[in-house]
Amino acid sequence: MKLDRRNRIIDMITQQRTVKNSELMEKFDISIETVRRDLEYLEQQGYLRRVYGGAVLNGSLGSEPEYASRANVLHKEKEAIAAEAAKLVEPDESIYLGVGTTVQAMAQYIKGISGLTVFTNALRTAVELSESTSCQVILSGGQLRPKELTLSGFPAEDNFAHFNVNKAFIGIGGICESGVTDFHIGEAQLHRQLIKNARQSIVLADSGKLAQRAVVNVCALEKIDVVITDDKASRQVIRALEQAGVRVIIAKP
């Protein structure tokens, strides 16, 4: 029974990239002590890495799950983060909405804000905002990334280099003490540029992204102003962010 349960946990974290202690307790009807023993064993075997409140996949730095699978991971947490991020948007501002499931979720919360100018390289976000008459949407152009439906490359970078924004809302691959990282070179370069051109840079990162490190370095922690995450976030990373002068906002689902 123990071996079967641990194999099923491996399947879960391979598909989801993250699991919560409470989720495992409910699914397998086991105590928190049993969960901790299982995760400790699987960590020793190299399958995962334990974080506050659960564990994350110990996968390749260059491996990113497809959009469809990421959209269903930590869904409530992502919605809460998106809603909290939308509170930072003021009427008549110019903002950048980057790629990723959490940033895309922001669109539904800002549709009614008047006078917005929204720059984005994410087609899903542009389509969502096209339903609103209160904001102007400007797409970057560039090379289309299949399935992700995002645009990047030198046309995107050259286009957005001409604009300054009040706030840049950025999705990432991972964030840890060494800085902000991502999986896609073109998108990382574009984010780096937008961070430079924005008065305020805001990273949206669910707890599964904290203490993670993806393959491409985006910037040091000191280059960003705010990180919005959920209440399962790594306390160690939160301390590192605060020590770097970054404001941390905790969104509660």
Do 143 and 177 contact (CB within 8 A), yes or no? Answer: no
Which sequence spans correspond to the domains of the chain? 2-57, 67-251
Q: Helix or strand or coil: residue 229?
A: strand
- List CB contacts of 212: < 8 A, sequence separation 6 or more: 56, 173, 174, 175, 176, 181
Residue 151 CA to residue 184 CA, distance in Å, equals: 11
Do 171 and 98 contact (CB within 8 A), yes or no? Answer: yes
> How is residue 190 annotated by DSSP?
H
The CATH code belonging to domain 2-57 is: 1.10.10
Q: Helix or strand or coil: residue 21?
A: helix
pLDDT mean across residues, the chain: 88
Q: Which CATH architecture has domain 67-251?
A: 3-Layer(aba) Sandwich (3.40)
Predicted local distance difference test score (pLDDT) of residue 103: 95
Considering the chain, what percentage of its residues have pLDDT values greater than 70? Answer: 92
Predicted local distance difference test score (pLDDT) of residue 70: 57
Least confident piece of the model among 62-71, 156-165, 202-211? 62-71
Give how far the C-alpha of residue 46 lies from the chain's centroid of Cα atoms, to the nearest Å: 24
Q: Summarize the confidence of residues 72-79 as an average pLDDT.
A: 78
**What does each C-alpha distance from 217 to 23, 62, 188, 213 come to in angstroms?**
32, 12, 7, 9
Tell me the torsion sign for CA atoms 131, 230, 24, 3.
positive
> How is residue 231 annotated by DSSP?
T
The two domains 2-57 and 67-251 share their CATH topology (first three levels equal): no
pTM: 0.76
